[in-house]
A = this chain, B = another copy of it.
Amino acid sequence: MRPTVHDIAAAAGVSLATVDRVLNQRPGVRHVTREKVETAIRELGYVRDVAAANLAKGRTYPLVFILPASDNSFMHGLNAEIRQAVLRSSAERTDIRTIEVPAFDPAALVSVLEELSRDKPCGIALVATDAPDVRAAVDRLVRERFPIVTLVSDLTGSLRHHYAGVDNIAAGRTAARLLGRFLGPRKGEIAVLAGSMLVRDHRERLEGFTAVMADEFPDLAILPVLEGRDDPEVAHMLVADALSRNAGIIGVYSLGAGNRGLIRALKEKAVDRVLTVVAHELTAHTRAALIDNTIDAILNQDAGHEVRSAIRVLKAKADGLAVIEAQERIRLDIFLKDNLP
């Protein structure tokens, strides 16, 4: 049996009350006594029974999720996963609140972050907009001892405790290699469709993509990036236009959302030519396109895993517990038509 508070009290030759004072860093314990207790804890290998402690404390974990108000299928999926987590909240003792902020608006995000310390959540997850002000606001909250994880989009250089999302540079590199290898010896041009270059994840994907393309596939030329603002209509217009004008396009990399428009453009304009297409995010549309060979590979991040991971990490940080690193690594899923879930 694992040792209990009674065991350490006995081992340290002190009372239960003193052990409790040490464990919960309450005042009124002499230094030497505290040491005795801590020694006993170490020697017996005592670890607090979190379940029993939570029961006694009546503890819940008030968590806040801060999301951009973006109307694309990935964000809808992310929202849905958070709602699923809310349904589980009684069993998991969580109390989840979501706050929507205007997308790509650092100032709005900062003001939400600044108001947050007042209602004392025990953890914060945010889809970060990459800006110095946001970084400063996050760092301040971290210094105030709030557990913070970034979700989907990271805030590098900040003090956030954890990032629950994929490595977007690696994603871009992977897309480049898939496209390059699938195209083989062919020479030609590659169209890149992004949402916006103001978003860090899109910039990073592009960065990884161009790096590998330049280094390893010199026969493929990357055309100027089309910014579709994650909007199907805009994406459709841009891609259809590019395909009409440029007969040399043999590959497409879609690194953002709005793939519905991309797919429509491909079906209209590319019936007679062989295009190799790599896109991000598995949705009903991209899935269908993968199956009918309009798209050749889909890179995906699992929003459900990201949300569950963020919650696990925030709870663990709030309790000062360790996380299982390998479990919390969000993987880049690569789907071909053969390994669809």
Contacts and interface: CB of A to CB of B under 8 A. Distances in A.
Q: How many copies does the complex hold?
A: 2
A65 to B, nearest CB: 18
A334 interface: yes
A326 interface: yes
A177 B339 CA distance: 10
A308 B327 contact: yes
B339 A332 contact: yes
A196 interface: no
Contact of A174 (B88, B327, B339): B339
A55 B47 contact: no
Contact of A170 (B51, B305, B339): B339
A284 interface: no
Contact of A336 (B52, B178, B339): B178
Given A167-B339, A177-B338, A212-B338, 4 more contacts: A49-B55, A88-B324, A173-B338, A181-B182
Given A331-B333, A336-B178, A339-B332, A51 B55 contact: yes
A189 B222 CA distance: 33
A171 interface: yes
B326 A304 contact: yes
A305 B338 CA distance: 21
